[in-house]
Copies of this chain bind each other. A is one copy, B any other.
Amino acid sequence: MELQRAKGTRDFMPEEKILRNEIVSTLKAMFERYGFYPIETPILERFSTLSAKYAGGSEILKETFKLTDQGGRQLGLRYDLTVPLARFIAMNPTLKMPFKRYQIGRVFRDGPIKLGRYREFWQCDADIVGCKDLIADVEILQMALDAFNALDLDVIIKLNSRKLLDEIFSYTKVPQEKRIDAILSIDKLEKFGWDYVEKELTELGLKEETIKTLKDIFSIKGENKEIIENLKKILGSDLEGLKEVEEILSYFEDEKRILFTPSLARGLAYYTGPIYEVFLQKSEITSAVAAGGRYDEMIGRFASANAKREIPATGIAFGLDVIMDAMKEKRKELPKTKARVLIIPIGTKKESFKLAVQLRKVGINADLAIVERSIKKQLEYANALNIPYVIFYGEEELKKGKIKLKNMQTGEETELTKEDLINLLK
């Protein structure tokens, strides 16, 4: 039997998983710093939930892993954390609002495998449910800035409003039924340039005049204030979408990292207000490291079949894989263990075990060399795992009541009392 992983899945080696854990715990701490609390929902969901009318849509449904339980029930593996959130909110109508949940977990998509696309990957989501006020979006944007500060990654945030895009389409007379496709084309502007987008819009059947005005609008560049002024000159000053952007920016007076970007569109159909994507600066990586927006209709439609209950919501998803790539880019060496010291027994198995227990009791991460082999081999092991210190613990050391410590980086060896050893390692 040839052993293989399932296609599109990965194993993470200790050095990668340690880094992933570090990123996750930084995000978790930041979510909690902002008053978000965690929930957990299952990976297995009823297929009827995942395929509900206002859920992810037909594109994503094509990529959903389907399975059946022994009772013949149709199930699926969740493809995101937003539809399970909607189901959770709908099934718990007495939750206190606003409900500020974060959730970190795996999602599954049975799609084509391209570079950087996997069939099993992690999402790290924070959403605020039950608040229409844009201060909720402001809180999430500030949290994103703080989170990337904490991860020591330089970012900018591109900000737009779905309402503004809609108003631009009204002004340029893009027919209602072509707007979702037009949004998907406009979204490619920064990546592929105007010529590419113009071709797509022509194929979509938009009029020459419409395309020309769209080009004028989406060619506006400059500082946030200049863009707003120039848009007002073309579209007038009474636009809901522009007001949204202005209101959000008013909270960020001295913040240079939020860039109003009228062509930012985001792929998903369910957005209704502010939308944003976070990008790295000074990096080879061009994909967004986080993205989100407001979706005021989706959860309410989920919760009430007749669409009468409005449950506003806004949220962000952090991309663990791309953040991990960015962190790898910056670090030369990834630690393979969290152990500070390897204790090498030299004929003192039981005493070495006791020493290990003592060090661990005071909070020192200590590994014990449990396979008997030559000192050379033990040192090779410590080196391979980048353990910073080793202790040689033999009869001689036991007699003297001293412990011999080797600094693996400098090669320096010192004899210490147990007390001094603990102080040095802590």
Q: Could you list which residues of chain A lie within 8 angstroms of chain B, going by C-beta atoms? A: 1, 3-14, 16-18, 20-21, 28, 32-35, 37-46, 48-49, 52, 65-67, 69-71, 73, 75, 77, 87-88, 90-92, 96-98, 100-101, 106, 108, 110, 119-120, 128, 130-131, 133, 135-136, 138-139, 142, 146, 250-251, 302, 305, 336-339, 342, 349-350, 353, 356-357, 360-361, 363-368, 370-372, 381, 384-385
Residues of B within 8 A of A65 (CB): 44, 67, 69
User: Would you list 26 pairs from A and B whose C-beta atoms are within 8 A, ordered by A residue?
Assistant: A1-B48, A3-B87, A5-B45, A6-B44, A6-B46, A6-B75, A16-B40, A18-B38, A21-B28, A33-B363, A34-B360, A34-B366, A35-B337, A35-B366, A37-B337, A42-B120, A69-B110, A96-B384, A98-B371, A128-B370, A135-B353, A135-B368, A139-B356, A139-B368, A139-B370, A146-B361
B69/A67 in contact, CB under 8 A? no
Q: Chain B residues near A17 (CB, 8 Å)?
A: 37-40
Partner of A370, one of B69, B98, B372: B98
Residues of chain B lying within 8 A (CB to CB) of residue A342: 35
* A367 adjacent to B13 (CB under 8 Å): no
Q: Verify B69–A11 contact, CB threshold 8 A.
A: no
Measured CB to CB, the nearest residue on chain B to A312 is B371
- Residues from chain B with a CB closer than 8 A to the CB of A28 are 21
Whether A46 contacts B360 in the complex (CB less than 8 A), given A39-B12, A65-B67, A371-B97, comes out as no
**B44 & A9 in contact (Cβ 8 Å cutoff):** yes
Contact A39 B67 (CB under 8 A): no
Known interface pairs A42-B5, A88-B11. Does A35 touch B339 (Cβ–Cβ under 8 Å)?
A: yes
How many copies of this chain sit in the oligomeric assembly?
2
Are the C-beta atoms of B38 and A371 separated by less than 8 Å?
A: no
A21 neighbours in B (Cβ, 8 Å): 28, 38
Nearest CB to that of A302 among chain B residues? B3
Q: Which of A10, A71, A371 has the most CB of B within 10 A?
A: A371
Q: Which residue of B lies closest to A74 (CB)?
A: B6
Contacts of A42 in B (CB 8 A): 5-6, 9-11, 120
| With A21-B38, A139-B370, A370-B135 as contacts: A52 and B14 at CB distance below 8 Å | no
Whole-angstrom distance between the Cβ of A304 and the nearest chain B Cβ? 11
Contact of A360 among B18, B98, B130, B146 (CB under 8 A): B146
CB distance B33 to A365 under 8 Å? yes
- B66, B67, B365, B370: which contacts A131 (Cβ < 8 A)? B370
> Which chain B residues border A87 with CB–CB below 8 Å?
3, 5
User: Given contacts A17-B40, A39-B11, is CB(A46)–CB(B133) below 8 Å?
Assistant: no
Which residues of the other chain, B, contact A372 by a CB distance below 8 angstroms? 133
Chain B residue nearest in CB terms to A100: B367
Question: Taking CB as reference atom, which chain B residue is nearest A142?
Answer: B357
With both chains docked as a complex, state the minimum distance between the C-beta of A354 and any C-beta of chain B, in angstroms.
9
User: Are A91 and B3 neighbours in the complex by a CB distance under 8 Å?
Assistant: yes
Please name all residues of chain B whose beta carbon is closer than 8 Å to the beta carbon of A41 when the two chains form the complex: 11-12
Report whether B32 and A365 are in contact in the complex, using a CB–CB cutoff of 8 Å: yes
Contact, CB under 8 Å: A133 / B370: yes
Known contacts A6-B69, A360-B34, A368-B139; is A385 also within 8 Å of B96 by CB? yes
